[in-house]
Chain A
């Protein structure tokens, strides 16, 4: 069995990659993917903690998080579609009407 500490480390790495991507990329879909990456990093952390403590609560949390992430993606993509319909772009730099 893999050491939970290694899984925890991998999770931290994934989270940082996701965070960095979300900061730097301007394509909305890529940003969404990065957010998913961060969510899954959290899921892995849950799983690792569950194994470490021998407690099933962590597994259950993971399942919930996956379900909610799925619906969040659906909503996010729908928003992007609507944004594309309005602005003909999904570049985050060009979508800033609230400011003006």
Chain B
């Protein structure tokens, strides 16, 4: 990518096993589905194999270990090399010949490993494994899932296969194929409780909305194929090929990439294709954690990050800046909009869903700015510019990492809360008929004061929220500051970028508010009702992943110190070699808190003030409170709760005016976007359908009816000339044939 272009193929020992990372879960899918069919309800299958959960765990663990081996090989082989690339032609037809290349293009499946792959591969395989552990604790203890968990696990591992395949694939075509496998599994998993109409329609909505994006993605890919004659990364990212395309059709390339970006918008639930994500919370909680927080929604980000070589190419300098701005602006809009809607949500999982949208939007803004900087700065020759580009791109990808870890954890913790609230409710109302029960175990109205009941879950939620909010030193702080700083850096070059830059800064304060609100309403204060007072601790399968992820989120500072903030895009800064970890941490600290540039120094503290003081302060003033008398929680949560109680007492204000305002109502109705879509559907699609139906009845049916009545009247005429006896007809046929034969004979 920089300086002299060297693409070196490193043949590593584990590379050849890389396809197994995808194939093992795929085989797991078939095995679990088959065994589940055969042994469904069998006590051994149910108790000892957890209805397939342990088989899924086995394949996911194997995938994870293979991924780790591959990653470590990559890191070892990584010393200034550009990329590790190896194509294994599984199917080599030689007939797929694109327009602009003369030699036959092999249609093979290959593995492509670079920095972005490694980052996503770790995130995907690690979280899939943890969520699998969580699922065993969550799905198998709920009697509603009895005898159908094998379906869940089978779809789950197929989903993981899709995600891992998308990350490892070596061409946009395979990326698209695995992308669609994920789309299918997402549909199946959201509709897991298909007997509920809301779940069934949510599944349909998610499938159709993402499909809109996918159509554009496909058009974009076809255009890319047309430009390059191939979709292999090796061909499309080749500097020489990009030069050729840049000379003749840079504008077309921008369109192709823009259409692909629409696909990413659909998959990552950004405005205006975001409507499916909140509804997708109808699926079981592990699914929400897996698909709608940690993995699938990252697919869109991955696709945009993959476009980096185009934006970074010297030959396309300044040609793609409009697209980069669009990416950043879509991110900016979504970041603020989703955060605003999250203000008023009562459903625990919905708050997290909107938070996911908002954070993904941050990453899109970060990527958009990084791509803009890469496209407009002369970063190939200027080392300062190079540093700026690398840090901007690295910050966005690092936020992806931090967000995936924190959000996966938050969803699992919320699942644990919902699970226990549900159990407490059942326990309290034991023996009653639950058929017409309208108790909502997901509503924060039914929680409160749970910090003492579920200390581990509360801690995980606290750390996860802090990471999302970007409280100093924890998790997302390191990356979020980077994204905000880079948005402003882009704004210094181009005033258009002031819009996304303002959005992310505003979003920081909003994130602080809604995440604190969620935590305080769930865990602080007094129990809101009898059910919340009877919640008990959760089981080990659920606790383990929470524990691990809390640790990972807290140790984000170590990753930052190891150079994660630069590493993902940098080809010269080598992993762990230039600086040792202590130096790295000190460097990050200095960079974050004592920036030499006065503008960024002030910006950092403004962002921290907004995200860590204004937002949480408001939430505490509204929702803070002491636990019930006699309840004690872990020492590290006590100060938070005490602080919230103090702020609440001191600064509490009445917010009914806001709650009853039309803005709040609009937010509760998701800004009426769903309604607009419905209206548009009714007016445009249904109107069009009616017109088409008219054409069908009037023109097509009319013609056919005319033919029918015409032949009927004709047959009445003919009928009067016949006798009705079969023998007469035979005679006529015979005589007729004889006559014709004689005539032909005569002529001949």
Contacts and interface: CB of A to CB of B under 8 A. Distances in A.
Contacts of B719: 98-99
B78 to A, nearest CB: 72
B723 interface: yes
B723 A99 contact: yes
Contact of B725 (A19, A92, A100): A92
Interface stretch (B352-360, B362-370, B537-545, B726-734): B726-734
B722 A92 contact: no
Contacts of B3: none
Interface of chain A, main secondary structure: loop
B731 A23 contact: yes
Given A19-B734, A23-B731, A31 B722 contact: no
B710 interface: no
B717 to A, nearest CB: 13
B724 interface: yes
Given A22-B734, A92-B725, 9 more contacts: A22-B730, A23-B730, A24-B727, A26-B727, A92-B726, A92-B727, A93-B725, A99-B719, A99-B724
Nearest to A95: B726
A96 interface: yes
Contacts of A98: 719, 722, 724
Contacts of B722: 98-99
A44 B725 CA distance: 30
Interface string A54-88: 00000000000000000000000000000000000
Interface string B646-669: 000000000000000000000000
Interface in A1-46: 19, 22-24, 26, 28, 31
Interface of chain B, main secondary structure: helix
B567 to A, nearest CB: 74
Nearest to A92: B726
Nearest to A34: B730
Interface residues of A, number: 14
B727 A96 contact: no
Contacts of A93: 725
18 contacts: A22-B727, A23-B727, A23-B730, A23-B734, A24-B727, A26-B727, A28-B726, A31-B730, A92-B725, A92-B727, A93-B725, A96-B725, A98-B719, A98-B722, A99-B722, A99-B723, A99-B724, A100-B724
Contacts of B724: 96, 98-100
Contacts of B730: 22-23, 31
Interface in B700-748: 719, 722-727, 730-731, 734
Interface of B: 719, 722-727, 730-731, 734
Contacts of B723: 99
A29 to B, nearest CB: 13
Interface of A: 19, 22-24, 26, 28, 31, 92-93, 95-96, 98-100
A96 B723 CA distance: 8
Contacts of B725: 92-93, 96
A92 B730 CA distance: 11
Contacts of B731: 23
A76 to B, nearest CB: 12
A99 B724 CA distance: 5
A83 B248 CA distance: 74
Top-9 shortest CB links A-B: A99-B724, A96-B724, A92-B726, A22-B730, A23-B727, A23-B731, A99-B722, A19-B734, A23-B730
Contacts of A96: 724-725
A6 B250 CA distance: 86
A24 B724 CA distance: 15
A99 B722 CA distance: 7
Nearest to B715: A98
Nearest to A28: B726
Nearest to A97: B724
Contacts of A100: 724
Contacts of A22: 727, 730, 734
Contacts of A95: 726
B716 to A, nearest CB: 11
Nearest to A25: B727
A83 to B, nearest CB: 11
A93 B722 CA distance: 14
A24 B734 CA distance: 13
B728 to A, nearest CB: 9
A100 B722 CA distance: 10
A98 B723 CA distance: 10
A22 B726 CA distance: 9
Nearest to A19: B734
A73 to B, nearest CB: 17
A82 to B, nearest CB: 15
Nearest to B730: A22
Nearest to B733: A22
A24 B730 CA distance: 10
B723 to A, nearest CB: 7
A52 B26 CA distance: 68
A33 to B, nearest CB: 13
B721 to A, nearest CB: 10
A23 B724 CA distance: 14
Contacts of A31: 726, 730
Contacts of A99: 719, 722-724
Contacts of B727: 22-24, 26, 92
A99 B721 CA distance: 9
B618 to A, nearest CB: 82
B733 to A, nearest CB: 9
Nearest to B720: A99
A23 B719 CA distance: 21
A22 B724 CA distance: 16
A22 B727 CA distance: 7
B711 to A, nearest CB: 14
A21 B55 CA distance: 76
A17 to B, nearest CB: 13
Nearest to A26: B727
A19 B734 CA distance: 8
B490 to A, nearest CB: 77
B483 to A, nearest CB: 75
B60 to A, nearest CB: 58
A83 B479 CA distance: 83
A19 B727 CA distance: 11
A99 B715 CA distance: 10
Nearest to B723: A99
A95 B734 CA distance: 21
A98 B726 CA distance: 11
A41 B731 CA distance: 18
A99 B718 CA distance: 9
Nearest to A93: B725
A84 B726 CA distance: 16
Contacts of A26: 727
A93 B726 CA distance: 7
Nearest to B722: A99
A22 B725 CA distance: 12
A89 B231 CA distance: 71
A26 B724 CA distance: 13
B714 to A, nearest CB: 13
Nearest to A24: B727
Nearest to A100: B724
A79 to B, nearest CB: 12
A92 B726 CA distance: 6
Nearest to A22: B730
Contacts of B734: 19, 22-23
